[in-house]
Amino acid sequence: MESVEGDRFFGVAVSPCGEAIKRHVYKDDGGLFVLLYGYITQIEGKDLSLSDLDRLTQQLAVLYRREGPGFAAALNGSFSIVVYDQAEGTLALISDRLSSRPLRYMMTERRVAFSSRIEAFRHLGFDPTRKLNPEGLAEFFVFGRLLNSRMWDEVTEVPPATSCVIHGGRATMQEYWKIKFRYKRGREDTKERAAELAEALRQATERNLLGFDGASLMLSGGADSRALLACLPEGTACYTSCDRINYETRIARKVARTKGCPHFLLQRSPFHYLDILPTAARITEGNKEFHHAHFVNLIHYMEDTEGRAVLHGLGLDFILRGHYLPTKIIRLGRRKASAKILHKSSSKSEMEELLLNMEGVRLDAIEMLSGRLKGDVVDIPRSLVRRFLDRVEDSVVEPLDALELFVFGNLSAWLTFPLADCLRHYLPERWVAMDNALVDIALSTSPETRFDSRLFLKALKALGRRLCLISNSYTFLPLCLGSLFNVTHRVPGIIYDHIFTPLALRTFHPQTPRWVLTPGPWPSQGYFWREGPISGFLKELLGEGSAMRDGVIDPAAVMSLLEAHLRGQRNNVLPLSRAITFLVWRKGCP
């Protein structure tokens, strides 16, 4: 959509990712332009029908005229919306509740441009990467995503659940939804909540199929993908990506056959993640970890997906089961052990330390910045946590809720779900877990119910009892028994990464890629970097001047992290993957 009026210029560019993206443009008689990028499944709590899709942007224009920029509170879906009121001279940029589709803008005294891609601003007459913001880069290296800052000083991203209204050269942010914990009951609500969750999953799946001929499913065999499979009809094509046939892929095949669905294996090359690194870095423009790009270059091999939604439940059970809760690190000699913090009272200083020790937070990643910048941003992580703790009073009712809020949201008022933020760009078009109803259930369910996994597993049992009785790929027990042992994810990961794989590989040639023996559809990232081509690729990249042109990365510090990882002193996959994603994108950035 382009409009020229006086000295103002408005433009948009959408991501050419090859997905089944629905785009709509509408203009009413009063000069109101509406552009929709993405999809909407509900308006004011009412499910849309096929006939509604033809006049969807017209309905949005009517809502905007009636409610103003906050009308998005009545919408459910994954979308970015742009509304230009020619008569008033205002531009409204609106994100969904999770900011699942980025929407950015740049402004000068005479011009405004908006886009879903940073690279598109160059075609609109702007230089988006002229000035790097080291605080944003520090946040990405430490936390794995941008929180309070921006990566580039002159590019602003519309926060989640926000309408950004630009008028007269000024931008005003209007938040239309806020994370608020609403639960009041404890363990006794499990049965009621499980039934509510099961029904919400059914309805969410139906809504996400609107406008498509059917669906295909990315099936890992875990609880999240089984839940979606239980909501889909027999005959749905299921796909599992893996390097080779192993126990977990056999579990996925058994799950598919139990439902009466065909199962296909998308086999990756051993060098899949190195091969897709440039593509993954470009998709997320350098600020999402590339090792989440499991499906890049694999979707093309899926058969009969034309006109079908590609569904997946990646992260669905994480959101509802608290797997990303902060952990408290306990030192046992030279070893470390982690334990979930489930108590309900902590001092502010204790909370600060818990959040800084959360899984995925790497304070030492600051060392990767050059010396001239490292001193300026060294306290960024701690200051962000302190600001967060100062602002949670109106969103939580007790200290434990603050831990949840940290998991569910960012450290600033710009709240979003980390999985939506980190993974959405790499995944197929439809993600049922983004449904507003499911988010509301997660926020209204007590921690005691969520943490022990009973809620999600009871909902899955209600959806498909037979699918629950199939062995779990980690525990070799029926999935429905997983909550009794609470070892479904964390403990097996420790066993495989630190015990099984090293022992098994002792008999193999040193050049054998260490991820070949990984059990399951995802490689063990801890060994992905060892004795494989990715380490050599990073060393070559660090030696190229074009990748260092901003002068913000210290190659020696990155190499130090890599060498410590190769020696087995510490698993440095997270900071290394964040650094290489940024460097690869920056190298290819014009």
Q: How confident is the model at residue 42 (pLDDT cuts 50, 70, 90)?
A: very high
Worst-scoring range by mean pLDDT, 221-235, 362-376, 438-452? 438-452
- CA 456/CA 453 separation, integer angstroms: 6
More confident residue, 271 or 41: 41
* Length of the chain as a residue count: 590
pLDDT of res. 5: 36
Worst-scoring range by mean pLDDT, 187-201, 333-347, 423-437, 554-568? 333-347
β pairing state of 335-340 and 327-332: antiparallel
- Closest by CA to 443, choosing from 355, 343, 319, is 319
pLDDT of res. 249: 85
pLDDT of res. 458: 85
More confident residue, 162 or 223: 162
- Average pLDDT score over the chain: 77
Q: Is the pLDDT of residue 18 over 50?
A: no
Q: How many CB atoms lie within 10 A of CB 68?
A: 14
The pLDDT of 70-98, averaged and rounded, is 92
Are 468 and 478 in contact by the 8 Å Cβ rule? The answer is yes
Worst-scoring range by mean pLDDT, 114-118, 168-172, 330-334? 330-334
More confident residue, 503 or 529: 529
Q: Is the pLDDT of residue 34 over 90?
A: yes
pLDDT of res. 8: 39
β pairing state of 214-218 and 263-267: unpaired
Share of the chain above pLDDT 90, in %: 24
Reported as a single tens digit per residue, the pLDDT across 53-69 is 888 999 999 999 999 99
- CA 578/CA 491 separation, integer angstroms: 25
Instruction: Report the topology of domain 3-118+155-175.
Output: Glutamine Phosphoribosylpyrophosphate, subunit 1, domain 1 (3.60.20)
pLDDT of res. 499: 47
β pairing state of 112-115 and 214-218: unpaired
Residues 6+ apart with CB under 8 A from 556: none
pLDDT of res. 506: 38
Please report the beta strands in 116-247, taking only residues with DSSP state E, as ranges in sequence order.
Answer: 156-157, 162-167, 170-175, 214-218, 237-242
Q: How confident is the model at residue 516 (pLDDT cuts 50, 70, 90)?
A: very low
The pLDDT of 132-141, averaged and rounded, is 90
Q: Is the pLDDT of residue 586 over 60?
A: yes
pLDDT of res. 414: 34
- CA 423/CA 283 separation, integer angstroms: 11
Model pTM greater than 0.95? Answer: no
- CA 24/CA 10 separation, integer angstroms: 17
Q: Is the pLDDT of residue 331 over 70?
A: no
Reported as a single tens digit per residue, the pLDDT across 211-262 is 888 899 999 888 888 999 999 999 999 999 887 777 778 889 999 999 999 9
**Gyration radius of the chain's alpha carbons:** 24
Reported as a single tens digit per residue, the pLDDT across 529-563 is 766 688 888 888 888 765 556 678 899 999 999 98
Burial call 561-579: b when 16+ CB within 10 Å, e when fewer: bbeebeeeeeebbbbbbbb
Domain boundaries, the chain: 3-118+155-175, 187-314+427-484, 327-418
Query: Under CATH, which number does the domain 187-314+427-484 receive?
Result: 3.40.50.620
pLDDT of res. 431: 75
Worst-scoring range by mean pLDDT, 39-53, 72-86, 392-406, 563-577? 392-406
User: How many CA atoms lie within 13 Å of 473's alpha carbon, on the beta-carbon side?
Assistant: 23
Are 39 and 22 in contact by the 8 Å Cβ rule? The answer is yes
Burial class (CB in 10 A: 0-12, 13-18, 19+), 254: middle
- Alpha carbon separation from 431 to 55, 175, 419 (Å, rounded): 24, 24, 11
